[in-house]
Structure 1
Amino acid sequence: MPHIPRSAAVGAVVATALAAGLLVTTSSAASADTVAIHDIQGTTRVSPLAGQQVTDVAGIVTGVRGYGSKGFWIQSADGDADQDPATSEGVFVFTGSAPLTVEAGDAVLVSGTVAEYVPGGAASGNQSLTQITKPTVTVRTSGNALPAPVRIDAKSVPAAYAPAGDPARDNSVNGLPLRPRSYALDLYESLEGMNVRVGTSRVVGATDAYNELWVTVKKHENPNRRGGTVYGSYRAQNGGRLQIQQLAPVSQQPFPKANVGDVLNGRTEGPLDFNQFGGYTLVARQLGEVADKGLARERTKRQAKGELAVATYNVENLDPSDPQQKFDALAGAVVANLASPDIVALEEIQDDTGAKNDGTVSAAATLKKFTDAIVAAGGPRYAWRSVDPENNKDGGEPGGNIRQVFLYNPERVSFTERAPGDATTPTGVVREGGRAALTHSPGRIAPGDAAWADSRKPLAGEFVFRGRTVFVIANHFGSKGGDEGLTSHHQPPVRSSETKRLRQAQVVNGFVKDLRKVKGDADVVVLGDINDFEFSATAKALQDGGALRSAVESLPRSERYSYVYQGNSQVLDQILTSPGVGRDFAYDSVHINAEFADQNSDHDPQVLRFRP
């Protein structure tokens, strides 16, 4: 293909470019002493030229992004010019405005300042993206062939995820030499800004509201039977995962809707970016086609007459302003997919005015609308019990006042009402006729403890099923907000939020121990959105001293998940039982949301069936 100068076209947009801070020229060849892209990228995560001016950096434009972080990528036309696999031959040029002056295939010279941009800010712990800022751009020729893409596949991505950080530098990997043949994150960093491609790959993270999905290039890496990739430990991060976006605006090219287990067929090719919400991301100039593999929403087995079915379901900030469609879908799932459990612990029920910050704390209207929808779906007329929180004291959306709520089917179970507690009065454990009892039912556990500051307080209640008392404790532990991502420059990443959940788990564990001191074989079910993994310190603290057992661990490892985050299928929602419940139970993580682009909640509900 001939090289066609575009001086006329460039001249037509010079005024626009100058106004946007991007100076475009159309002359000259590179001088002999100019810096190459691999010199900018260097052999570590941080450019050796950061903060310095560079002149006439030569490259071929491989992609132009006119939205979000606006700019374009350039790559050396000489392949791996320095023959060093640790140095990338591509770099992002940040224009700060719509880069209307270049297009893929242009041969350019770029002068500007080398910078390390940390998406999300330094406090996020994210790695930085090397880029050229405040650029002056010379378009030399157009219509050039793009550099051949580097293929990312199961063979090229190392099994190990990341090196251990340097203890002398706060466990940062920034100063360590890249070893792309040894670590997945080092490989991706060595390709930052370069034209890459993946072939036919399985979708492991459904299309989200931001028009992105996740695939894996390692089909045998911790798979589950529904097509996902399971996050099974802090050392099994699944390096084959890669986020996929597209360069074309959605207004010009709709992004495909994909569920977990679908397949992205054919060639997906474009620059490898690094962003705040997922780390290394293939920004597709050419996007493959999604093949629908027909993933179905699961349905659990209905409980037998003598079985008590207890469920937990995070309904994601439900309030009366949500469309009736959401209420109907959630209610239909309770009836059809969860088989109308006897007791349902709900998380994220908002007050009657939702996120409107007007002092309202009652959720009666929310619950009536939801329970009415369950009846309309063919389910039972559930009763409910809860404790209204203090205004804006339990975290979540300001004004939303999320809380846990018990729904129960009065035709199957009864609720033992004992001087209902309020937002600040703790429930306790007493002996009554040789049995354990709560001082307040429903009641909140230790609401004044610092563990629950700006967090949802546990809700405890007494139920009776076929003459047997069952204590149920509904939880919504502190979120993982503030934790560093798996691609953090700290390795291992800092999990700062765990401290709070650990203390919360200790408080709940102590309460269960109090119940068991009064009645050793008491049936206790602790459940909810624990916001932590089954192998975490939080889960271990809940089980301390044998007070509780994790029901999710009764499942095969590949089936342990209730949530999908960045392509990792993982446990956040849990049910734990006291020894009195025994081991003869059925447990089901009912996959109806987390794997789907069309979600009614981002969590999958959990169901436990046992005979008290």
Structure 2
Amino acid sequence: MPSKSSARLAALTVAAVCSAASAVVLTSPAHADSVRIHDIQGTTRISPYAGQKVADVAGIVTGVRTYGSSKGFWIQDPNPDADPATSEGVFVFTNSTPKVAVGDSVKVSGTVSEYVPGGTSSGNQSITEITKPTITVVSSGNTVPAATVIDADSVPDAYTPAGDAAANGSINGLALDPSAYALDYYESLEGMNVQVADTRVVTATDAYTELWVTVKPHEHANRRGGTVYGSYDSQNTGRLQIQSLGSTAAFPKANVGDTLTGTTDGPLDYSQYGGYTLVANRIGALESAGLERESTEKQRNGELAVATYNVENLDPSDATFEEHASAIVNNLKSPDIVSLEEIQDNTGATDDGTTAADVTVNKLIDAIVAAGGPRYDWRSVDPVNDEDGGQPGGNIRQVFLFNPERVSFTDRAGGDATTAVGVTREHGKAALTASPGRIDPTNAAWEKSRKPLAGEFVFRGRTVFVIANHFNSKGGDQGLTAQYQPPVRISEVQRHQQATLVNAFVKNILDVQKNADVIALGDINDFEFSDTAKILEGDGELWSAIKSLPRSERYTYNYQGNEQVLDQILVSPSIRRGCDVEYDSVHINSEFNDQISDHDPQVLRFHP
């Protein structure tokens, strides 16, 4: 997922919104005297005054932002018009610490601009602002306009209108219909003082001091308090991001399922990361739901347990080895085979040419032993330096851990960073030409991305082929609140290419041995209903085992209020049709503010 950035790009006028190159400077802006805030906001997402100077815009200060690169304050007209599509609030960008206070009655003169958080290439909607302001404080201590209540009754069930085909799918020029579409409703409140009450937390507090709540507690809810994302066509409209205008030290450390009781109120902003955001002057009290981390069942006699776990850029300097070890031993019950994703090299993010990861892996193995688990053996293939993407210098890769007391690894020489593993016939059965080996590692589909790691295991005399994956991330995709609807998912083009190659490799195995046990697992970085998953599954070569769970339990990751699937375990027909196949997504990270990884691990148990 995209990383945070505090950089504020130049504000864009309406003429620049359709250009990804640079802002357009209007040399002769028009002038409008004493317009009201609702006139500036207008009935579309783009102000009719964009690029023009305005004078003596009146309002009451409802919030002041003194931190970050977007310093300024919000004002709201206490005398609204009768049009629900026109917001009565607007942000005044000062670029320095504002010299106003909440409750001040002010008049502001300046230039109306449309600022796109993240720049136009992000596809984000713009924020209507008054920039280069001259500010006159008329009086202080005034009553702040009453906050508009956002709740289940006010937010429409439909998410967004379709974008205008003549504008490349943009919704910017469409008239707002706040009674029909959630995105239009939120836009009609941009910059206004709003409130939510007794809202359930659906994404835990993160490192950036923000969390997500839902005002629709029954919308795609599950038994642990989350909101599940199960379709491109059925969005969760009640989600809202919460940030704070006050001290971050007082911000609640919430988990999924907790409740912000009482009132949370403040101006409604639009963030580069997450879209519409309530920037709170006041935050409700945190009421814990007591959510506990899950544990799976221990594999039974004759059962093989195979797991996947993204350990999020694990390197020797991290302080999470004991916690990861405890998770593997106590929550995953020491699976026989563990596919680890995001194992970094021995020097972590230091870009010094190191590619070996033996120090990282052995430190985790030692921690597992100390936690009461088995002494795992391991196999991997070191990547070419700086060729597999991820954190620069980290050289992340997939690693197989396996319990040698329960399962053996079939070593076949020849696997390295650039040599493709193949499939051959041996004694009438499928075998790998290299084990461990990488699937077509020089193919352009893997550019700046992790190459799949294939290995051949034997459990109770039966061969099991395991393919560890970490597909291209979703970084660069347009957000769900983008101005383009539906949003463009540019990152999936590469994932489709990667899925095609992995499916073809699995098909090669099954062409040689129809009843071969094959498992493709890892961080697929895409949903179980996505085209990526469909390509991976092919014509029945594989099946995503997470589909065996009820829809409300299908998630391994939590992003912007949506619990969703990124990690998957896919199995060949011989496994799927076997007896006593069990799949478990073990929720130990994604729902918690003190997570040690942003992914939940999964475990598959079956009888080969």
Runs of 5+ consecutive residues of structure 2 not aligned to the other structure: 1-31
1:40 maps onto 2:34 in alignment: no
2:122 corresponds to: 124
For normalisation by structure 2, the TM-score amounts to 0.94
Within 5 Å, give how 1:26-175 maps onto structure 2.
34-68=34-68, 69-78=70-79, 80-81=80-81, 83-99=82-98, 101-175=99-173
1:537 maps onto 2:536 in alignment: no
Cα deviation digits, residues 544-569 of structure 1 (max 9, x gap): 11110110000000000000000100
Of 347, 351, 366 in structure 2, the residue corresponding to residue 353 of structure 1 is 347
1:565 maps onto 2:563 in alignment: no
CA–CA distance in structure 1, aligned partners of residues 538 and 167 of structure 2: 34
1:482 corresponds to: 476
CA–CA distance in structure 2, aligned partners of residues 582 and 282 of structure 1: 46
Q: Is this contact kept in 1: 2:585–2:601, CA < 8 A?
A: yes
Cα deviation digits, residues 573-610 of structure 1 (max 9, x gap): 00000001134310000000000000110000010000
Runs of 4+ in 1 over 6 A off after TM superposition: none
1:284 corresponds to: 280
CA shift, 1:420, in A, is 4.3
Q: Is this contact kept in 2: 1:147–1:195, CA < 8 A?
A: yes
CA shift, 1:275, in A, is 1.0
Q: Which amino acid is the alignment partner of residue 458 of structure 1?
A: P
CA–CA distance in structure 2, aligned partners of residues 148 and 448 of structure 1: 61
CA–CA distance in structure 2, aligned partners of residues 448 and 386 of structure 1: 17
Within 5 Å, give how 1:1-12 maps onto structure 2.
none
Q: Is this contact kept in 1: 2:42–2:87, CA < 8 A?
A: yes
CA–CA distance in structure 1, aligned partners of residues 266 and 414 of structure 2: 60
2:200 corresponds to: 202
CA shift, 1:236, in A, is 1.9
2:251 corresponds to: 255
Q: Is this contact kept in 1: 2:543–2:576, CA < 8 A?
A: no
CA–CA distance in structure 2, aligned partners of residues 321 and 300 of structure 1: 29
Q: Is this contact kept in 1: 2:466–2:518, CA < 8 A?
A: yes
Within 5 Å, give how 1:369-518 maps onto structure 2.
369-518=363-512
Cα deviation digits, residues 498-532 of structure 1 (max 9, x gap): 00000000000000000000000100000000000
CA shift, 1:321, in A, is 1.1
CA shift, 1:448, in A, is 0.9
CA shift, 1:77, in A, is 1.4
Which SS does the other structure have where 2:494 is aligned? helix
Which SS does the other structure have where 1:484 is aligned? coil
CA shift, 1:342, in A, is 0.2
Cα deviation digits, residues 259-297 of structure 1 (max 9, x gap): 000001000010000010111000011110110111000
Which SS does the other structure have where 1:516 is aligned? helix
1:11 corresponds to: none
CA shift, 1:371, in A, is 0.2
Q: Is this contact kept in 2: 1:37–1:88, CA < 8 A?
A: yes
CA–CA distance in structure 1, aligned partners of residues 126 and 586 of structure 2: 38
Which SS does the other structure have where 1:281 is aligned? strand
CA–CA distance in structure 1, aligned partners of residues 552 and 247 of structure 2: 37
Q: Is this contact kept in 2: 1:261–1:293, CA < 8 A?
A: yes
Which SS does the other structure have where 2:106 is aligned? strand
1:268 maps onto 2:257 in alignment: no
1:177 corresponds to: 175
CA–CA distance in structure 2, aligned partners of residues 98 and 563 of structure 1: 37
Q: Is this contact kept in 1: 2:33–2:54, CA < 8 A?
A: no
Cα deviation digits, residues 175-223 of structure 1 (max 9, x gap): 0000000000000000000000001010000000010000000001000
Which SS does the other structure have where 2:538 is aligned? helix
- Aligned positions, number: 575
2:8 corresponds to: none
CA shift, 1:249, in A, is 3.0
For normalisation by structure 1, the TM-score amounts to 0.93
Q: Which amino acid is the alignment partner of residue 485 of structure 1?
A: G
2:307 corresponds to: 311
Which SS does the other structure have where 2:539 is aligned? helix
CA–CA distance in structure 1, aligned partners of residues 563 and 585 of structure 2: 12
CA–CA distance in structure 2, aligned partners of residues 311 and 224 of structure 1: 24
Runs of 5+ consecutive residues of structure 1 not aligned to the other structure: 1-31
Which SS does the other structure have where 2:247 is aligned? coil
CA–CA distance in structure 2, aligned partners of residues 431 and 407 of structure 1: 26
CA–CA distance in structure 2, aligned partners of residues 330 and 321 of structure 1: 14
Which SS does the other structure have where 2:85 is aligned? coil
CA–CA distance in structure 2, aligned partners of residues 269 and 321 of structure 1: 41
Which SS does the other structure have where 1:303 is aligned? coil
2:223 corresponds to: 225
Identity of aligned residues (%): 70
Q: Is this contact kept in 1: 2:256–2:592, CA < 8 A?
A: yes
CA–CA distance in structure 2, aligned partners of residues 200 and 267 of structure 1: 7
Which SS does the other structure have where 1:499 is aligned? helix
CA shift, 1:33, in A, is 5.1
CA–CA distance in structure 2, aligned partners of residues 70 and 249 of structure 1: 15
CA–CA distance in structure 2, aligned partners of residues 110 and 500 of structure 1: 48
Q: Which amino acid is the alignment partner of residue 86 of structure 1?
A: A
1:577 maps onto 2:571 in alignment: yes
Q: Is this contact kept in 1: 2:262–2:284, CA < 8 A?
A: yes
Of 281, 295, 299 in structure 1, the residue corresponding to residue 295 of structure 2 is 299
CA–CA distance in structure 2, aligned partners of residues 276 and 340 of structure 1: 40
Within 5 Å, give how 1:545-564 maps onto structure 2.
545-564=539-558
1:595 maps onto 2:594 in alignment: no
Within 5 Å, give how 1:359-370 maps onto structure 2.
359-370=353-364
Q: Is this contact kept in 1: 2:469–2:521, CA < 8 A?
A: yes
CA–CA distance in structure 2, aligned partners of residues 600 and 150 of structure 1: 38
Q: Which amino acid is the alignment partner of residue 397 of structure 1?
A: Q
CA–CA distance in structure 1, aligned partners of residues 92 and 461 of structure 2: 71
Give the CA RMSD over aligned residues: 1.0
2:9 corresponds to: none
Which SS does the other structure have where 2:235 is aligned? coil
Which SS does the other structure have where 1:334 is aligned? helix
Q: Is this contact kept in 1: 2:33–2:55, CA < 8 A?
A: no
1:607 corresponds to: 603
Q: Which amino acid is the alignment partner of residue 86 of structure 2?
A: T
Which SS does the other structure have where 1:55 is aligned? strand
Cα deviation digits, residues 115-160 of structure 1 (max 9, x gap): 0000000000000000000000000011110101100000000000
CA shift, 1:398, in A, is 1.2
Cα deviation digits, residues 5-59 of structure 1 (max 9, x gap): xxxxxxxxxxxxxxxxxxxxxxxxxxx9510000100100010100000000000
